[in-house]
């Protein structure tokens, strides 16, 4: 009996332990509150509640970024895992300056990487009108806050990237392309990054840019046609009128009521490819016409002669390819 009593007593104790355990799992069970992290300050970004912050950098406070946004100033903490992109290049916290446009993006954790921030910052740009080139310095006329204008000299170097949005004579815009410092001419509107120090990039905002200053221009939309994704001068062929160093002038076919339509585009030994067409076979058709089989071989700019029929493929920098066409078949 004693052993039975002990067994029952032990069973009661076990039930009591299980009951206490279940009570601890219930929502209403009294338990000491878990330690919670301190709530962030009202103006400090909580990474759990945002994905993207944009604004102007007010200052760098230690490793924290104070950013002016539309909703007011916010503070974004950074750490050793934060990635920095400054003026389109890999940078670091120390590269950030006041008044930079910044965008902070939160990248969630993945299997390969933890949660991390990326800060993309862009320096303020200087906008003005080009007055002249002084060696490698760009002299720009800018407007001051007081309404007056002044000339600013911006140095450049071999790493300065210069691009232009080409505007044709009929006002059509082309995609931006790289140009040389010497292609800049007075009167162009420029956007220069950054606004002080050596220019990292210069963008021409207005005016057509010529590949050379001797009449070389971009063909207008009416002077071009697109075939298979290639931009070609309009018409079945063009006739070579003049060849000079750095340019070729051709007549479009057919001529219009205003006379011969002439186009001058840039050429270069390095980038303009020449292909020569040779007739390998001729066949007379039932309707009396003659078909030609043409093979092409590589040539050079010296093979292009005045008076020849050509087909010119162009891009934003001039002639990309010149195909020399064989003489047409003789009609009976």
Least confident span in 115-119, 176-180, 189-193:
176-180
- 3-state class (DSSP) for residue 229: coil
Higher-confidence residue: 100 or 145?
A: 100
Question: What was the pLDDT predicted at 92?
Answer: 92
Per-residue pLDDT of 121-170, as tens digits, reads: 988 888 888 899 999 999 999 887 777 788 999 999 999 999 876 554 44
Question: What was the pLDDT predicted at 226?
Answer: 67
Q: Which long-range contacts (CB under 8 A, 24 or more apart) does 48-53 make?
A: 50/106, 51/105, 51/106, 52/103, 52/104, 52/105, 52/106, 53/102, 53/103, 53/104
Task: Give φ, ψ of 9 to 5 degrees.
Answer: -60, -40
Higher-confidence residue: 172 or 267?
A: 267
Question: What was the pLDDT predicted at 306?
Answer: 92
CATH code that applies to domain 47-121? 2.40.50.140
Q: How confident is the model at residue 21 (pLDDT cuts 50, 70, 90)?
A: very low
- The segment(s) of the chain belonging to CATH 2.40.50.140 are 47-121
Task: Report whether 208 contacts 166 (CB < 8 A).
Answer: yes
pTM, two decimal places: 0.43
Question: What was the pLDDT predicted at 111?
Answer: 76
Instruction: State percent of the chain over pLDDT 70.
Output: 69
Instruction: For residue 281, give the nearest of 270, 291, 272 by alpha carbon.
Output: 291
């Amino acid at each position: 009996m004693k052993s039975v009593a002990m067994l029952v007593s032990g069973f009661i104790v076990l039930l009591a332990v299980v009951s206490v355990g279940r009570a601890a799992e219930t929502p209403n069970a009294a338990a000491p509150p878990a330690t919670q992290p301190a709530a962030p300050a009202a103006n400090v970004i909580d990474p759990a509640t945002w994905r993207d912050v944009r604004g102007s950098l007010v200052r760098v406070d230690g490793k924290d970024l104070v950013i002016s946004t539309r909703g007011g100033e916010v503070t974004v903490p950074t750490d050793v895992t934060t990635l920095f992109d400054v003026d389109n290049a890999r940078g670091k916290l120390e590269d950030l300056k006041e008044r930079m446009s910044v965008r902070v993006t939160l990248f969630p954790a993945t299997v390969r990487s933890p949660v991390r921030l990326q800060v993309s910052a862009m320096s303020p740009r200087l906008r003005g009108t080009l007055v002249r080139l002084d060696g490698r310095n760009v002299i720009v006329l800018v407007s001051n806050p007081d309404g007056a204008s002044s000339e600013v000299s911006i140095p450049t170097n071999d790493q300065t990237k210069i691009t232009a949005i080409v505007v044709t004579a009929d006002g059509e815009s082309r995609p931006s392309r790289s140009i040389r410092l010497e292609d800049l001419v007075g009167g162009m509107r420029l956007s220069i990054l950054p606004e002080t120090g050596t220019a990292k990039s210069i963008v021409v905002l207005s005016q057509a840019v010529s590949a050379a200053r001797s009449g070389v221009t971009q063909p207008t939309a009416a002077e071009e046609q697109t075939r298979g994704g290639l931009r070609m001068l309009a018409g079945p062929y063009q006739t070579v009128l003049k060849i000079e160093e750095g340019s070729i002038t051709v007549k479009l076919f057919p001529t219009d009521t205003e006379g011969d339509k002439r186009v001058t585009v840039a050429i270069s030994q390095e980038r303009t490819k020449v292909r020569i067409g040779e007739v390998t076979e001729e066949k007379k058709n039932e309707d009396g016409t003659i078909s030609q089989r043409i093979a092409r071989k590589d040539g050079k700019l010296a093979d292009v002669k005045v008076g020849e029929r050509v087909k010119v493929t162009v891009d934003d920098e001039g002639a990309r390819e010149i195909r020399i066409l064989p003489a047409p078949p003789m009609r009976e």
